[in-house]
């Protein structure tokens, strides 16, 4: 498995699990919409304050999204997404020493973000839009290729699989072949099984239970379980009250081999992973050489 991923001018060391902090510059994201985007513009002061807080709490990557992908989300024009994301990436690149990820499926957003200082392109549609793979190849940046069944507006309308893990694995294998076909080195590719994207709660939990199978393959795995609706299938909690469950899910994913966790609650996740990492280290010291 890849141990480090080149992200623009920085290397993402994956010798231990890493935390990706969520920065949604949208008015309508399911958990934090409107907190960093007010009165029709990105609130750069709030954005930078949130980013600095997350970095202080232990985040390794900042993931910027300019279009909500929650179930039933309204589409955003290319010009609007471009304005939101580029404004955020420029501000972060100038003020924060971190890897900047861009959560977008739009080729022009990928290209402009790469010019402004992004290091990772994170596409929930798996770079399937026309020209998306070409834009990714031209950028020279790291990629995160995600699985999603359907589109955000319809993805939760009775998603079906013959075998959720195998179907996702086959999809990702095909996408990796497409990535290679445009000249992208797989050493800069991360994959994401897409928890919550075209999957029922039961399918999400089955995928998590069997995640080790996917993690035992060649590409590092990113997971986004933070505050997802699968939690509400077990616990009657609104998104802002799902922190404890989110941390538990992140820890289970890391135990099964995930290398990056995308989260809203950085401090709590960092503390949990620190305890896990310290315990793992203690175990390695006690084992016979």
> Are the C-beta atoms of residues 215 and 251 closer than 8 Å to each other?
no
The span from the CA of 260 to the CA of 254, in Å, is 8
Residue 263's H or E segment, with its range, is strand 260-263
Surface-to-core class of residue 153, CB atoms within 10 Å of its CB (0-12 exposed, 13-18 middle, 19+ buried):
middle
Residue of 228, 242, 256, 259 marked catalytic: 228
The span from the CA of 32 to the CA of 68, in Å, is 10
Question: How many other CB atoms are found less than 10 A from the CB of residue 235?
Answer: 10
For residue 262, indicate whether it is catalytic: yes
The string of DSSP letters for 52-117 reads: HHHHHHT-SEEEEESS--STTPPP--HHHHHHHHHHHHHHHHHH--SEEEEE---HHHHHHHHHHT
Residue of 18, 50, 188, 262 marked catalytic: 262
Residues carrying an active site annotation: 228, 262
């Amino acid at each position: 498995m890849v141990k480090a991923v080149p992200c623009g001018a920085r290397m993402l060391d994956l010798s231990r699990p890493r935390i990706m902090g969520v920065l949604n510059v949208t008015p309508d994201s399911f958990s934090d919409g409107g907190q960093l985007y007010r009165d029709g513009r990105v609130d750069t002061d709030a954005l930078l304050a949130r980013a600095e807080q997350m970095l202080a709490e232990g985040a390794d990557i900042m993931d910027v999204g300019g279009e909500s992908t929650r179930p039933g989300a309204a589409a955003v024009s290319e010009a609007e997404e471009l304005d939101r994301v580029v404004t955020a990436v420029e501000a972060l690149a100038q003020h924060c020493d971190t890897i900047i990820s861009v959560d977008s499926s739009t080729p022009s957003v990928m290209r402009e973000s790469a010019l402004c200082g992004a290091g990772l392109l994170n596409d929930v549609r798996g770079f399937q839009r026309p020209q998306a793979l070409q834009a990714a190849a031209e950028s020279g940046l790291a990629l995160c290729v995600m699985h999603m069944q359907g589109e955000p507006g319809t993805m939760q309308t009775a998603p079906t699989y013959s075998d959720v893990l195998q179907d996702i694995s086959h999809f990702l294998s095909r996408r990796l072949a497409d990535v290679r076909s445009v000249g992208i080195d797989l050493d800069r590719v991360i994959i994401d099984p897409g928890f919550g994207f075209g999957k029922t709660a039961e399918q999400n939990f089955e995928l998590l239970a069997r995640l080790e199978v996917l993690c035992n393959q060649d590409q590092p795995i990113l997971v986004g379980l933070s505050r997802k609706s699968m939690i509400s299938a077990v616990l009657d909690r609104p998104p802002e009250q799902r922190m404890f469950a989110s941390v538990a899910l992140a820890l289970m994913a890391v135990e099964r081999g995930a290398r990056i966790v995308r989260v809203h609650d950085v401090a709590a996740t960092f503390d949990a992973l620190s305890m896990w990492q310290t315990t793992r280290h203690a175990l390695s010291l006690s084992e016979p050489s």
